[in-house]
Amino acid sequence: MLRCEKLLIFMLFVLRNIDNRVLFGANALFCRLKIFRTIGKSFA
């Protein structure tokens, strides 16, 4: 979990210098990943 948060902070730091559309796409992808993980946990 801590490793994932460090990766997210690093991604935010990198994406801060990139176009907002890219940041929005990455955010949407991360939210989708969280949803899939939640679904996976509920089935497990």
Query: What is the widest separation between alpha-carbon atoms in the chain?
Result: 38
What's the pLDDT score for residue 17?
67
Q: What is the pLDDT of residue 5?
A: 82
Label residue 6 by pLDDT band (50, 70, 90): confident
Contact 26, 15 (CB under 8 A): yes
Residue % of the chain over a pLDDT of 70: 80
Instruction: With a cut of 70, say whether residue 1 has pLDDT above it.
Output: no
Nearest-angstrom CA–CA distance, 14 and 24 = 13
The total number of structural domains in the chain stands at 1
The boundaries of the domain holding residue 20 are 2-43
Residues 40, 10: Cα–Cα separation, whole Å:
26
